[in-house]
Structure 1
Amino acid sequence: MYFAALLARSDDGWEASDTDLDNVETLSDLVDLARDASLDDDTVLVFIEQEDAWFGIVRVDGEDDPRIFLSDAPLAKRSSYGSMLIDELLGRDEDGADDLDTLDLDGTEDGEPEPAEDEADTPDAAAGTVPSGPLGDTRLLEDVGVSERRLLALNGEALSEIADALGCTDVLEAVR
């Protein structure tokens, strides 16, 4: 089960809205969703969390390229949305073996078979590996009060802690 929310910066602080990821198949779709929520090309943060196992943040500042952070790349890789963000971070081609058209984007990939031990050593399996631990831009929230060190130390209630640092806990909890 995913929780996803958009936090858009405004002159009065942050405005939150929950977001439905059903129509999101690519990072471009997610960025378009964020830009639609933006007020005057201000910063928009997209929070994605899967059952306190991992969280991701996509930061969109106007027309700049999005910045991405994932708390736990191996856990996120098991998720279609996490996999989509990992592929972007690692520069993988969408037309390759990780094509999102082959994934079930509702987060229920439980029916997919695990690779046999012999297959784990093949070059194709190696292409699907991800670095252990966090992945992405660890400094994407420094200017809003969440240091790299603090971001890397977050776990289970990470999104609530980030919202607290941004001063918008009530706004985020209202959409949770």
Structure 2
Amino acid sequence: MYFAALLARTEDGWQASDTDLDNVETLSDFADLARDASVDDDTVLVFIEQEDAWFGVVRVDGEEDPRVYLSNAAAARRSSYGALLADELLGREEPEGDLDSLVDLDGTEDGEPEEDGAVADTADASPPAPAGPLGDAQILADLGMSERELAALSEDALGEIADMLGCTEVLEAVR
């Protein structure tokens, strides 16, 4: 079960809203979601957590590229939204969905024995996700939370971040 919320900074403080991730398929979709909630291109944080296994923060400041932090990339990779963010951070691309991607250049299907009996290499060449934090650990530094504090967050990480930002009541209202 996921919990996702948007926190948008305004002149009057932070405004929180719950968010529906049904149409989110890429990091750009997360950024678009944040920009839609932005007031005057101010900072927007997208919080996502999955049952205390991991949490993520996507930060969008105006038209700048989104910044991402995951508390535990290995745990996040076991869920669809976490995998999307981890793959983006690790530079992995989504596999092609067309039939041409199932056939190697030599005409054999992936995993099918070749002439000499060898098996085509189908392993992901990129390294596995680390069993710990991944991404921009300084994502909240200018808002008052250091890299060390971010890494030390407990099971209620999003609540602790909201406490630090001074918007606990606003976040709790959308939980």
Aligned match of 1:7: 7
Calculate the TM-score normalised by the size of structure 1.
0.82
Post-superposition offset of 1:124: 1.3
Cα drift, residue 79 of structure 1: 0.6
1: CA distance, partners of 2:159 / 2:61? 22
Contiguous gaps of at least 5 residues in structure 1: 98-121
| Aligned pairs for 1:15-94 within 5 A | 15-94=15-94
- Report how far residue 4 of structure 1 moved: 0.1
CA-to-aligned-CA distance 1:82-119 (integer Å, 9 cap, x gap): 0000111111123459xxxxxxxxxxxxxxxxxxxxxx
Q: Given residue 23 of structure 2, which amino acid in structure 1 is its aligned partner?
A: N
User: SS at the partner of 1:15?
Assistant: strand
Secondary structure, in 3 states, of the residue corresponding to 1:150?
Answer: helix
Question: What are the Cα deviations for residues 41-93 of structure 1, in whole angstroms up to 9, with x where unaligned?
Answer: 00000000000110000000000010000000110000110000011111112
Alignment-derived partner of residue 142 in structure 1: 141
Look up the match of 2:128.
129
Partner of 1:23: helix, strand, or coil?
coil
Q: Count the aligned residue pairs.
A: 152
Question: For residue 102 of structure 1, what is the aligned residue in structure 2?
Answer: none
Letter in 2 for 1:124: A
In angstroms, what is the RMSD of aligned CA positions? 1.5
Distance 1:35 1:57 in 2: 15
Q: Which structure has the highest helix share of the two?
A: 1
**SS where residue 65 of structure 2 aligns?**
coil
Who is 2:163 aligned against?
164
Q: Residues of 2 paired with 1:24 and 1:67: CA distance?
A: 16
Shift of 1:36: 0.2
- Structure 1 window deviating more from structure 2 (122-131 vs 41-50): it is 122-131
Structure 2 stretches of 5 or more lacking a match? 98-120
SS at match of 2:123: helix
How many angstroms apart in 1 are the aligned matches of 2:30 and 2:87? 14
Secondary structure at the aligned position of 1:127 is classed as coil
Which letter maps to 1:2?
Y
2:72 and 2:130 in contact (8 A); partners too? no
Q: Give the distance between the partners of 2:137 and 2:35, measured in 1 at CA.
A: 22
| Contact 2:75 2:131 (8 Å CA) reproduced | no
